[in-house]
Amino acid sequence: MIRSHQRTPAQIRPVNIIRHYTKHADGSVLIECGDTKVICTASISEQVPPFLRGQGQGWLTAEYGMLPGSTNTRMQREAAKGKQSGRTMEIQRLIGRALRAAVDLKKLGERTIQLDCDVIQADGGTRTASITGAFVALHDAIEKLIYQQLIETSPITDHVAAISVGIHQGVAVLDLDYIEDSSCDTDMNVVMTGNLGIIEVQGTAEGNAFNRKELDTMLDLAQQGIQELIAIQRKVLLAK
Amino acid sequence: MIRSHQRTPAQIRPVNIIRHYTKHADGSVLIECGDTKVICTASISEQVPPFLRGQGQGWLTAEYGMLPGSTNTRMQREAAKGKQSGRTMEIQRLIGRALRAAVDLKKLGERTIQLDCDVIQADGGTRTASITGAFVALHDAIEKLIYQQLIETSPITDHVAAISVGIHQGVAVLDLDYIEDSSCDTDMNVVMTGNLGIIEVQGTAEGNAFNRKELDTMLDLAQQGIQELIAIQRKVLLAK
Amino acid sequence: MIRSHQRTPAQIRPVNIIRHYTKHADGSVLIECGDTKVICTASISEQVPPFLRGQGQGWLTAEYGMLPGSTNTRMQREAAKGKQSGRTMEIQRLIGRALRAAVDLKKLGERTIQLDCDVIQADGGTRTASITGAFVALHDAIEKLIYQQLIETSPITDHVAAISVGIHQGVAVLDLDYIEDSSCDTDMNVVMTGNLGIIEVQGTAEGNAFNRKELDTMLDLAQQGIQELIAIQRKVLLAK
Amino acid sequence: MIRSHQRTPAQIRPVNIIRHYTKHADGSVLIECGDTKVICTASISEQVPPFLRGQGQGWLTAEYGMLPGSTNTRMQREAAKGKQSGRTMEIQRLIGRALRAAVDLKKLGERTIQLDCDVIQADGGTRTASITGAFVALHDAIEKLIYQQLIETSPITDHVAAISVGIHQGVAVLDLDYIEDSSCDTDMNVVMTGNLGIIEVQGTAEGNAFNRKELDTMLDLAQQGIQELIAIQRKVLLAK
Amino acid sequence: MIRSHQRTPAQIRPVNIIRHYTKHADGSVLIECGDTKVICTASISEQVPPFLRGQGQGWLTAEYGMLPGSTNTRMQREAAKGKQSGRTMEIQRLIGRALRAAVDLKKLGERTIQLDCDVIQADGGTRTASITGAFVALHDAIEKLIYQQLIETSPITDHVAAISVGIHQGVAVLDLDYIEDSSCDTDMNVVMTGNLGIIEVQGTAEGNAFNRKELDTMLDLAQQGIQELIAIQRKVLLAK
Amino acid sequence: MIRSHQRTPAQIRPVNIIRHYTKHADGSVLIECGDTKVICTASISEQVPPFLRGQGQGWLTAEYGMLPGSTNTRMQREAAKGKQSGRTMEIQRLIGRALRAAVDLKKLGERTIQLDCDVIQADGGTRTASITGAFVALHDAIEKLIYQQLIETSPITDHVAAISVGIHQGVAVLDLDYIEDSSCDTDMNVVMTGNLGIIEVQGTAEGNAFNRKELDTMLDLAQQGIQELIAIQRKVLLAK
């Protein structure tokens, strides 16, 4: 088994995070994980959804999309079809939950942060790249709120990053690309904090069921990969 | 902490499965897990979706819904709103994946089994009850195919059942009802086979992140609960 | 011509009404008319639609649906299709009009009662069974309002029940099942009050036109059937 | 009670039917019943819906709409809202059923006649005017088929016309205009053939329930009105 | 090349404008340009869209539709399809922009004028006929506002009319009918004021690109045609 | 008046075109016109829409979208709203028409080229940048067809590019950015070929009407700008 980017089973793909990628959104990031490229923006609005009005807390939500030309075979445009697929809905709900876990919504105040993750090139792991990149966009939007003196201290409680892991041809592998993802037996997405707390685990047996030992091996790999990703986030955020 | 039905943290709610609940569908089951009640039907059609035509294999898919009056506060009818929610889509995709894992689609032949899980009373765990009940409806539909001599042997490879587990007030608890589900820190749904293979693990930290040890405790509880559920499935299927 | 349940042309099917069928809705009924089974729930909300705000009166409206597996051949799920069929709309408008005729909306106060009629098994006459069952659910919801001292006296002015009648193979028959309904020349749905006032008459010639004498015979049959249904409603409501 | 057009309770409004009103459709009629004006077109297509293919018979269906400016207060455009209202669906289903009752679909051959009834000015009775006018448009489309030698003899079996009747301030009145319709206790639409066979009866108590005697009086009035309408249809169709 | 209505290349089709065509809308016009017939209504409502609230100015917007039977081959009804086509949206946006250019929205006050242009017979140039006719309907609605003393002076700043022009078989022709429109190389729609100011120019090469000289010739023709249309508008508006 | 990028009225913004921007689509380009950035992809499929089947010719069509975070204030995601706006439809129809004018569809063979233009950063002129960039993506997709020997010679007949021009504060200006576009009196988009043939002219008076002389000045500017854009296209396409 030869992996893309000459990787061993336990290696993640090269990661590149570009901050301030576009100029309008409050936070804007291009994240590249190997050949997967996602634009993540964070937009602040000074209101909250109806169910939260007057409760002195904020909200954070996410949407996800893929450019029609981002995939191997062109995907139909969801705006033209008139509805988002179940997969899209599932992913954007996951991104929202993952990032909310990193924010103290009370400290955010009565405002909403809207994250948008749009895949411009897909090669596996678009949902996990979205989460890892959206964290940086979120950070930059929060920094702007602080700079504008709208809030005093950051409501971000910890880093959040995500990675996929799977059993491919009997071997546990970290950070699957599209070819691995399409042919693996088991696929698991893990979201963790900088503190190594687990926020989300979603493991699915595509072919054969997996056992507890395989689950443990995959979680070990995921934890290591997320530590690397968070180190990259930290480094990128130190730069001005 | 007093649990509904005077349960200990490791106990599941009383389960009742009624086969042949309605008369038209090829398989039809009412499953009651405590106060959660779901009608699961399996309908066979002698064709497959376009992407599978001519490949000599079958398909299995699922849809999920809640009656508007099934919940504490009336839910808006999705047919009237004109779209299914992200939650609905996520759940029906999960049910479909879980049951496909129990079927050898090649042995099914070029036909589709459509599972419908409709909640008539909700009290937590509707998606896991749907999976456990749908397995029985699926079994009865397959039995009908064999009886009609459309297939010779059953394409079902193993039992499948599902249960929720969570960390509630610091304690790992099995089979959460609605009140527990709404207030727990972590909520995990687990789908396993009769052989104790894991088909799906979906764990989410609603409040604080959880650690590997908590994950292990929850998986132990889930495994035990699923064994009980499969024992109930077996008993129900023995009866004529 | 042999009718289901060994009935004469003028006999209705066995009727069974179970109150308090599910636990969340303010009124909840399972009605069985022969093999037709409908869950009818009534949900109270303390607001009225915009066009009635501030006018000191209440509102009552209804929605109708069929579980996909409730029919002979599986029906497509309307929530998945993204729209309700013309037939569904027609039926839910009929149910709403019929029940509004039984309620003094001024006495209800500024609140809305939402009726939901969901067919879990269909064998003809689902819309009339819905009306007959929804009346009981409505009654129970109103009783709850009185019990909670939100209103003093019941705004219900009279019983309401409904039945179908038709000309089948030249004979006027009461309470058609699916087979009769599919093959009859004329099909009529009648809604009446306990006082034998007519609320709605909808007669359609599917094949040959019908004449005034046939119309009269059908109305006589319908009146008799509705009297029997209202007697059953009364008996069920006496029970505690 | 003074009625529009100085009518007695038993008089219909002045009726005007203009054939060949527009040039593209196979049949095209403007019908004016008092101030109610409807354009009815009939369009032939040489195919049938999937459920009828290869069965050697034709189909007839109808659609209904109102121009936004046709009503007292502007109605929202259904095309812009993205869905047809329940009222619209109910009406177009009625028009289709009514006209199908006038046609031997076997004799029509494997083709579809699509009727479109679009209200350009509304003053009550738009659905009945649509039926009465659509019959003439249908006739002209059929005549064209005969002229083109696509069919030999007309599949039309009888005239069809429709009228509304109601109880207004205690008096049975024929052919209600908008003001009468909005304030009447009971409103009934009746569709009959030239032979005085009843095709459809739809009576609704908007306020108080009505009794059998009132129903009879209304049916007598309706029958008389429909006879007048059919006389007008005959006269218009004699003209070349 | 023989043109419909025995026209020379520079001649417009016979135009007929009937005011007060229907009775409910505040302005209502039937415009006939040759065989193209459009009903244009103007409806006033005493509110503005959210984005203009409290700004002391009015709004004007337009919608466009075609009756299904208005075209050579029946068009699908957009209300039934559940969405307006791109062509429809493009046209109604054009009509709205064109008429807004004729109105001082500040002088209109905080109210909205909704224009509806519905084609009852199509033979080319429906969007330009809509603009020319909608101007007259707008004028009549404004006159009603003045008559009701809701505004003092007319906010209409100038006449607005529109015409199509094209290059057909190498010749520049004015006011194309459907056959010319379908087969021309270049098609241009021009909207101008009474003062010969250009409000909108939309020229499209369907086949070969066109050059500046051809553009100039077409604009000359359009200007002449619009002058004739505005003369007709003036004459019609003088009549009481 | 100071223009962005220190431009004179007749200067276009700096243009940058990156070919092969993403790896999956058959042609993929990032075009930057000042701060406006659009990803244009071209995807080939080996079939044509139903209306062209069996006619020995190909098809080309376009879709357009904006990332939610691409604009000053976040735009709602059209996929989430469930429909494309009128503006989006208008723009994608324009892009499709413009590029079809550059291709001999007969020489393309029975295949479809789908262009997708997705704005990642908007600063005015997104539709014209889309056309100019899409031409290059189209070129690269065609080149791939030739390389794969699916066609022998290129069906592209000429370059196509587009630019906006307007009257801003009384001065004719070329290539408007967002601020100029929002406040100009007249806005015109022009599409031309390498041969200076006009494919599309769309001029709109947002405020005051414009006259023939202003139109001429704007067309002169546009022609000059398009010549510069086509020179850039040529240069980019020479590079390997």
Q: Is the pLDDT of residue B179 over 80?
A: yes
Residue F240 scores a pLDDT above 80: no
Asked whether the beta carbons of residue E93 and residue F97 sit closer than 8 angstroms, the reply is: no
Contact of D195 with C208, CB cutoff 8 Å: no
Structure pTM?
0.94
Does residue B5 sit within a domain?
no
Beta bridge partners of E60: E113
- What pLDDT, in 10s, does the model give residues B100-126? 999 999 999 999 999 999 999 999 999
| pLDDT at residue C169 in the model | 87
User: What mean pLDDT comes out for the span B204-229?
Assistant: 95
Per-residue model confidence (pLDDT) at position B224 = 98
Asked if A65 lies within 8 A of F77 by C-beta distance, the reply is yes
The pLDDT of residue F208 is above 90: no
Q: Is A129 on the interface with B (CB under 8 A)?
A: no
Distance from CA of E103 to the nearest CA of D (A): 21
Judged against a pLDDT cut of 80, whether residue F171 lies above it is answered with yes
Task: Name the band, by pLDDT with cuts 50, 70 and 90, for residue C207.
Answer: confident
Contact at CB, F24 and A69, closer than 8 angstroms: yes
Q: What mean pLDDT value characterizes chain E? A: 96
The CATH number that applies at residue C229 is 3.30.230.70
Average pLDDT estimate for F38-45:
98
pLDDT score, position A47: 94
Residue B19 structural domain: 10-238
User: What average pLDDT does the structure give for chain B?
Assistant: 96
Question: How far is the C-alpha of F170 from the C-alpha of D167, rounded, in Å?
Answer: 68
Summarize the confidence of residues F210-226 as an average pLDDT: 97
The span from the CA of A223 to the CA of B200, in Å, is 19
For chain B, the DSSP string reads -PPGGG--TTPPPPEEEEES-SSSSSEEEEEEETTEEEEEEEEEES---GGGTTSS--EEEEEEEE-GGGSSSPPPPHHHHTS--HHHHHHHHHHHHHHHTTB-HHHH-S-EEEEEEEEEE-SS-HHHHHHHHHHHHHHHHHHHHHHTTS-SS--B-S-EEEEEEEEETTEEEES--HHHHHH-SEEEEEEEETT--EEEEEEEESSS-B-HHHHHHHHHHHHHHHHHHHHHHHHHHH--
pLDDT band at B38 (very low <50, low <70, confident <90, very high): very high
pLDDT for position B117: 98
Q: What is the predicted pLDDT for the residue at F206?
A: 80
Q: Using alpha carbons, select from A167, A130, A162, A99 the residue that is nearest to residue A32.
A: A130
- Residue A206: pLDDT over 90: no
Has residue F162 got a pLDDT over 90?
yes
Collect all residues of chain E within an 8 Å Cβ-Cβ radius of residue F208: 197
B110 within a domain of the structure (yes/no)? yes
Residues in E touching F92 (Cβ below 8 Å):
86
Q: Search chain C and give the residue with CA nearest B26.
A: C69
Give chain F positions within 8 Å (CB) of A78: 79
Asked if the Cβ–Cβ distance from A215 to B199 is below 8 Å, we say no
Mutation for F interface: A45, A61, A74, most F CBs within 10 A: A74
| Tokens, residue D61 | 């269906």
Report whether B121 contacts B70 (CB < 8 A).
Answer: yes
Residue C98 pLDDT > 80: yes
Question: Does the beta carbon of D213 lie under 8 angstroms from any beta carbon of chain C?
Answer: no
What does the pLDDT average to over C174-203?
95
Asked if residue F2 belongs to a domain, the reply is no
pLDDT for res B187: 93
CA distance B172 to C102: 51
- For residues E213-220, average pLDDT: 96
F43 to A68: CB separation less than 8 angstroms, yes or no: yes
CA distance E22 to E135: 16
Q: Is residue B139 part of a domain?
A: yes
Please enumerate in sequence order all residues whose Cβ is within 8 A of that of E25, keeping only pairs 6 or more positions apart, or say none: D69, D74, E41, E42, E43, E116, E137, E141
Instruction: Output the pLDDT for position D111.
Output: 97
The Cα of D23 is separated from the nearest Cα of chain C by a number of Å equal to 31
Interface contact A188-B203, CB threshold 8 A: no
Gap from D24 CA to chain E (nearest CA, Å):
5
Neighbours of chain B (3+ CB pairs under 8 A): A, C
Q: Is residue F205 very low, low, confident or very high in pLDDT (cuts 50, 70, 90)?
A: very high
Max distance between CA atoms of chain C, in angstroms, equals 56
Distance CA E134, CA E113 (A): 11
Cα–Cα distance between D165 and D188 in angstroms, integer? 5
Query: Does B207 carry a binding-site annotation?
Result: no
Q: What are the C-alpha distances in Å from A133 to residues A21, A32, A69, A229, C231?
A: 12, 9, 21, 10, 67
* Whole-number Å distance between alpha carbons of C104 and C57: 9
**What pLDDT, on a 0 to 100 scale, did the predictor assign at position F218?**
97
- Tens of pLDDT, residue by residue over E51-96, are 999 999 999 999 999 999 999 999 999 999 999 999 999 999 999 9
pLDDT, chain F, mean: 96
Q: Is B100 annotated as a binding residue?
A: no
Q: What is the mean pLDDT of residues A21-31?
A: 98
pLDDT tens for chain D, residues 1 to 240: 689 999 999 999 999 999 999 999 999 999 999 999 999 999 999 999 999 999 999 999 999 999 999 999 999 999 999 999 999 999 999 999 999 999 999 999 999 999 999 999 999 999 999 999 999 999 999 999 999 999 999 999 999 999 999 999 889 999 999 999 998 989 999 999 999 999 999 999 977 899 999 999 999 999 999 999 999 999 999 987
pLDDT of residue D240: 72
How many whole angstroms separate alpha carbon E124 and alpha carbon D13? 37
Asked if residue E110 belongs to a domain, the reply is yes
The minimal CB distance from B120 to the residues C39, C65, C78 is found for C39
Query: What is the rounded average pLDDT for all residues in chain C?
Result: 96
Quickly list H helices, F49-158: 78-81, 86-100, 105-108, 126-147
Pairing of strands C171-174, A160-168: unpaired
Q: Per the domain annotation, does F1 fall within a domain? A: no
Q: Is F53 annotated as a binding residue?
A: no
Confidence (pLDDT) at B206: 79
Predicted confidence (pLDDT) per residue in C18-60, tens digit = 999 999 999 999 999 999 999 999 999 999 999 999 999 999 9
The DSSP element (H or E) to which F203 belongs, if any, is strand F198-205
| pLDDT for the residue numbered D239 | 87
Cα–Cα distance measured from residue C220 to residue D207, given in angstroms and rounded to the nearest whole number: 23
d(CA A13, CA D113): 62
- If you write DSSP's letter for every residue of C35-47 in order, what string do you get? TEEEEEEEEEES-
Q: What is the pLDDT of residue B100?
A: 96
Query: Which chain A residues contact residue F41 at CB under 8 A?
Result: 67-69, 74
Torsion angle in degrees (nearest 10) through CA of C207, C212, C215, C219: 170
> C86-100 and C126-147 are packed helices; what angle lies between their axes, rounded to 10 degrees?
40
**Neighbors of chain D by Cβ distance (3+ pairs < 8 Å):** C, E
E55 with E117: CB under 8 angstroms? no
Local confidence band at E2 (pLDDT 50, 70, 90 cut-offs): confident
Q: Which residue of C has its CA nearest to D157?
A: C208
Residue A2 lies in a domain: no
The total number of structural domains in chain C stands at 1
Q: Is residue D201 part of a domain?
A: yes
| Chains touching chain E, criterion 3+ CB pairs below 8 Å | D, F
Rounded CA-CA distance C98/F83 in Å is: 36
pLDDT of residue F2: 85
User: What is the DSSP-derived secondary structure letter of residue F240?
Assistant: -
| Segment A110-115 mean pLDDT | 98
ipTM reported for the complex, 2 dp: 0.95
User: Could you tell me the end-to-end alpha-carbon distance of chain C, in angstroms, rounded to an integer?
Assistant: 40
- What tens digit of pLDDT does each residue of C178-189 get? 999 998 989 999
- Token pair of A47, please? 């209101």
CB contact A121 to F (< 8 Å): yes
